[in-house]
A and B are shown apart, each in its own frame.
Chain A
Amino acid sequence: MRRLTPWLLLAPGLLLVVVVLLAPVLNTGVMPFASGRAASLYQRFFFGSYNQGVILRTLQVASVTTLVSLALGFTAAYVVSRAPAALKSLLIVAAVFPLLTGTVVRSFAWMVILGRNGMANDALLKLGLTSEPVQLLYTQFAVVVGLVYLFTPLMILSLVGVLENIDTDLPRAAASLGAPPRAVFRQVVLPLATPGLIVGSVLVFTGSFTAFATPQLLGGEEQTVLATLLYQKAMVTLDWNGASTIASAMVVMTVIVVLLMNRLARRLNPASV
């Protein structure tokens, strides 16, 4: 009986994961094969020119988003980690607050800014950079801006903890031995921050690779990505075989990215294992 206790306590939670997630997702993965047309479905998904465009766009959007959030997040996290305690907690709260605001609200904010009568166009007109409103909404630019906006706080929070834990004596020692600031940053701070950089990048890449609300609102049909294509197939054209194919491919691609980044993390930082 005693040996059973932990299992009895775990069972309800495990049951929820199995019934509500594992079984449904496996069922989705099997669907293209059960239809007997798996080969043609996957072929159409990976080699159809429209779908290929969507796959490439999704990868491109996620990569650019990750790089930009890394640059913005690292800069901010570096300054936050060195700020005096009171200011530091204020800045952390200011990064947490947008995270607690929903993705729909945060994407909507950019619809207001990037719309035809929005602030961005207002500014462009007033500066005389354009004579009539520019199409900003429903472009890849809008999707990337929206996603960077969504994920930069996550990057800041992943990095602040790591940067805080770097012993300040290390960069100081390097500097006192004659390393110029640039070398101190590249050879001391950056390698020590690598685990945080990788964790943050995995979160942002997988998050923007699978994001739905932001591309739906800011990209529209012109900028269809995998998540919005999956939604269209599932709910608009009711092509469930097609939707299942996309769903399985998304899971596989996400898992591959996570595994690759984990391996990279291990190679760059053997101490973290």
Chain B
Amino acid sequence: MAAPRSPLDRTHPGLIAATAVVYLFLLGPLVIVFGAAFSNTTFLAFPPQGLSLRWFENAFANSAFRASFVTSMQVAFGGTGLALLLGVPAAYAMSRYRVQLPKALSVMFVLPILIPEIVAGFSMLRFLQVSLGLPVVAALLLGHALLVLPYTVRVIGASLAAFDFSAEEAAISLGSPPLKTFVTIVLPNIRSGVIAAFVLAFITSLNDVSISVFLTGPGVSTLPIQILSYVEQFFDPTVASVSVLLMVLTVAVMAAVERTLGLTTFTK
């Protein structure tokens, strides 16, 4: 007689079916956007009645979409770059000098996640643009840098936690200057953390609505905000094709990460 298998060792078929439905729910709508983007009708319908690229042409011909894409790229690269520039030293200080620093400091770097983005956005509008008189792009850059700072500090902090600082001490005791030691010894060891932080921050910035909706001004908009205001006026498949282009960009970034690091980086 075979050993009795516990019913717990296999997953109940009902649960598997339910999970299949959940995944259909997660991925189906994105497939529908894809279909709508290639349709040849002037209204949004799925499945498309015929295929065409006219809505992609329409999206590319739209100067507001083009301009907002450029702004989004500038803000995402600039904001992420700034966040890394500030986040790497902060994460380093917190891992390296843990004993000397008050614990409450880490709360400061979680604050951007704790405070609702919509509140942060409104407050930045009042403080940065109205009180301090910063121009739109500068305020957007600072706002996005703040938005993604926690990701850089946390992801790089996690890589630093696995780094053995005695290697750095050895180099310094042998006479290597601190900055050079950081660049040649520490940085190469946390490379994957820096890349993961960059990608996570970049995508977060690229998709941000709640902060940007307050900080964008007349003539300067980011892509998600431009999509938002287009959808409120027109209901045609142009936005579907812009969405497809954004998804393709995301897939490209994800594929690049997958090849260098493996996607499980995102779940840590």
B128 within 8 A of A: yes
Find out whether the CB atom of B210 lies under 8 angstroms from the CB atom of A227. yes
Find out whether the CB atom of B214 lies under 8 angstroms from the CB atom of A10. no
Specify which of A13, A25, A89, A250 lies most central, judged by the most chain B CB atoms within 10 Å of its CB: A13
- Chain A's nearest CB lies how many Å from the CB of B213? 7
A38 within 8 A of B: no
> Please, what's the 1-or-0 string for B1-34, where 1 marks a CB less than 8 Å from any CB in chain A?
0000011110100011011001101110110110
Contacts of B11 in A (CB 8 A): 78-79, 82
Contacts of B235 in A (CB 8 A): 111, 115
B71 within 8 A of A: no
- Chain A's nearest CB lies how many Å from the CB of B5? 10
Find out whether the CB atom of B27 lies under 8 angstroms from the CB atom of A94. yes
Contacts of A119 in B (CB 8 A): 32, 46
Given contacts A152-B22, A213-B210, A230-B122, contact A108 B243 (CB under 8 A): yes
Query: Out of A9, A96, A212, which one reaches B267, CB within 8 Å?
Result: A96
On B, residues with C-beta under 8 Å from A are: 6-9, 11, 15-16, 18-19, 22-23, 25-27, 29-30, 32-33, 36, 43-46, 82, 85-87, 89-90, 92-94, 96-97, 100-101, 105, 108-109, 111-112, 114-120, 122-128, 131, 142-143, 145-146, 149, 153, 203, 206-207, 209-210, 213-214, 224, 227-228, 231, 235, 239-240, 243, 246-247, 250-251, 253-254, 263-264, 266-267
- Chain A's nearest CB lies how many Å from the CB of B120? 6
- Chain B's nearest CB lies how many Å from the CB of A217? 6
Given contacts A80-B19, A98-B30, A100-B250, contact A13 B149 (CB under 8 A): yes
- Chain B's nearest CB lies how many Å from the CB of A232? 11
A57 within 8 A of B: no
Contacts of A160 in B (CB 8 A): 267
Query: Out of B15, B127, B207, which one reaches A102, CB within 8 Å?
Result: B207
Find out whether the CB atom of B263 lies under 8 angstroms from the CB atom of A112. no
Residues 154-179 of A at the B interface (beta carbon under 8 Å)? 156-157, 160-161, 171-172, 175-176
A197 within 8 A of B: no
Find out whether the CB atom of A149 lies under 8 angstroms from the CB atom of B25. yes
Find out whether the CB atom of A28 lies under 8 angstroms from the CB atom of B123. yes
In angstroms, Cα B111 to Cα A14, docked, is: 11
Given contacts A94-B27, A115-B44, contact A109 B246 (CB under 8 A): no
In angstroms, Cα B20 to Cα A72, docked, is: 11
Query: Out of B93, B143, B263, which one reaches A96, CB within 8 Å?
Result: B263
In angstroms, Cα B18 to Cα A95, docked, is: 15
Find out whether the CB atom of A250 lies under 8 angstroms from the CB atom of B227. no
Contacts of B126 in A (CB 8 A): 24, 27-28, 31, 240
Find out whether the CB atom of B224 lies under 8 angstroms from the CB atom of A102. yes
Find out whether the CB atom of B142 lies under 8 angstroms from the CB atom of A9. no
Interface of B is mostly: helix
Given contacts A21-B112, A24-B120, A118-B44, contact A6 B93 (CB under 8 A): yes
In chain A, what residue has the closest Cβ to B36? A112
Given contacts A9-B90, A109-B29, contact A102 B209 (CB under 8 A): yes
8 nearest CB pairs, A to B: A102-B207, A24-B127, A109-B29, A24-B123, A210-B116, A6-B97, A13-B90, A9-B93
In angstroms, Cα B30 to Cα A98, docked, is: 8
A64 within 8 A of B: no
Find out whether the CB atom of B119 lies under 8 angstroms from the CB atom of A28. yes
Contacts of A212 in B (CB 8 A): 117-118, 209-210, 213
Find out whether the CB atom of A109 lies under 8 angstroms from the CB atom of B27. no
A190 within 8 A of B: no
Residues 99-120 of A at the B interface (beta carbon under 8 Å)? 100-106, 108-113, 115, 117-119
Subset of 21 A-B contacts with CB under 8 Å: A6-B100, A7-B93, A13-B90, A19-B142, A20-B145, A21-B123, A75-B19, A75-B22, A100-B203, A108-B227, A108-B231, A112-B33, A112-B44, A149-B25, A156-B22, A212-B210, A213-B209, A213-B224, A234-B122, A247-B123, A250-B118
> Please, what's the 1-or-0 string for A19-49, where 1 marks a CB less than 8 Å from any CB in chain B?
1111111011001000000000000000000
- Chain B's nearest CB lies how many Å from the CB of A17? 5
